[in-house]
Structure 1
């Protein structure tokens, strides 16, 4: 469905966005893979760092199901910010230059204040989601948080109602966050713009490409699920792959 957001022009000076075909997400992944193979060392370093952080979080929640929703959601919300350096790798390659991991980190900080501001917003979303999750746990677990219960038991069987309600609420939150961040983070890495402008641009790009972005979001979910299914080992490759691909999504949809 085509959505018109001309009202945004009354409040924000936004760059023009383009409509792209529904086949583009696969192309973005192919181009992202080419970039990953072009400079595997720096790219996989980012993947390794994200995987290590994920392992740390999983070790904290392994026997505490009531913390799982909070920490893992926070991880998924904030980890895309770590891809700012990956965007620099791709940007440099587009301009015919190669760069190192440390240089990409340095370059990613050129608009650090606005990236940090977006991080604060996402952090507040994560905190709000933690409160919602805590309320759902209290209501659906009968007021008793099952500390020490293995994760698989905490989300199945008699607690399946919680999983369904929590999943539905999480899906709505994910759609909201995706709409505002789909291209905003690479835009902040690429241009000297403020985070609000970047988020509004992302909202417009998603709204003008509903079907394409739905496919793109589904691919992100599938690949991330594969990463978690491999106990995060797959994220070593999947995280930088998605980072490089997201850069191309941004460049195609935002003039």
Structure 2
């Protein structure tokens, strides 16, 4: 957005009274968008999968295995920004245009660089969460070397201290995830679609999530399930699930705006 650009007025969000089952409609629309020329969407999913593989490889190669779990969980924080190309395909498909891979990779949001502000904010939130996770570990187990992934499971699941750390970590991680979800679930598609500033978009996203909490909680649960399935399949399911969730999020925005 340039200094002389006019910011479009945006009506305050209100409750849409959508039932939690609406998430199935969004998923169906996400799937329908995927199968309209599926190759660009699947290549996009492969790209995100390869990024996750590189992250895991880096963690093990350079001895940072103690941040593996926080890094995997942190993916949920930055995922809304990584999916911007998938929102673009859904937007173009709705407009009757063909979405090429180039258009998905080189998105030109209506708001210009405002969307980058949210991307940077999400990355800072991810970095803060990873540091917080290390601090939680040190609070319960002290400042000592990480025992390694092959020894950590018995410690976490076989001792009271381990369970206490798991509960604390899940609560803190949940707060980070909920905050990032609230500020990004509507704001990034909105900035793609309209000429708004980042703060207006984030404020609208938070208010929309708050005023439509049941269906937003249901959608967050769907995203969490997709993430867990991806983890259980060593990331392979992400190739398909990430595009579906990304496309579907565009329709979340459409129904909420």
Residue range with higher mean Cα deviation, 47-56 or 58-67 = 58-67
C-alpha displacement of 1:139: 1.2
- The match for 2:158 is 157
C-alpha displacement of 1:28: 0.2
Number of residues of Structure 1 aligned to a counterpart in Structure 2: 242
Q: CA RMSD in A?
A: 2.0
**2:90–2:250: 8 Å Cα contact kept in structure 1?**
yes
Q: C-alpha distance in 1, partners of 2:113/2:230?
A: 30
Is residue 55 of structure 2 the alignment partner of residue 57 of structure 1? yes
| Structure 2 SS opposite 1:50 | helix
- The match for 2:132 is 132
Q: C-alpha distance in 2, partners of 1:239/1:152?
A: 28
Residue range with higher mean Cα deviation, 51-60 or 87-96 = 51-60
- The match for 1:97 is 97
**2:86–2:247: 8 Å Cα contact kept in structure 1?**
yes
Cα distance change, pair 73–222 in 1 and its aligned pair in 2 (3 A): closer
C-alpha displacement of 1:217: 0.8
- The match for 1:22 is 20
Q: C-alpha distance in 2, partners of 1:171/1:107?
A: 30
**1:65–1:147: 8 Å Cα contact kept in structure 2?**
no
List gaps (5 residues or longer) in structure 2: 1-8
Q: C-alpha distance in 1, partners of 2:236/2:108?
A: 25
- TM-score, length-normalised on structure 2? 0.86
- The match for 1:79 is 79
C-alpha displacement of 1:206: 0.7
- The match for 1:170 is 173
Cα distance change, pair 94–54 in 1 and its aligned pair in 2 (3 A): same
Q: C-alpha distance in 1, partners of 2:154/2:44?
A: 33
Cα distance change, pair 44–155 in 1 and its aligned pair in 2 (3 A): farther
Cα distance change, pair 109–204 in 1 and its aligned pair in 2 (3 A): closer
| Structure 1 SS opposite 2:142 | coil
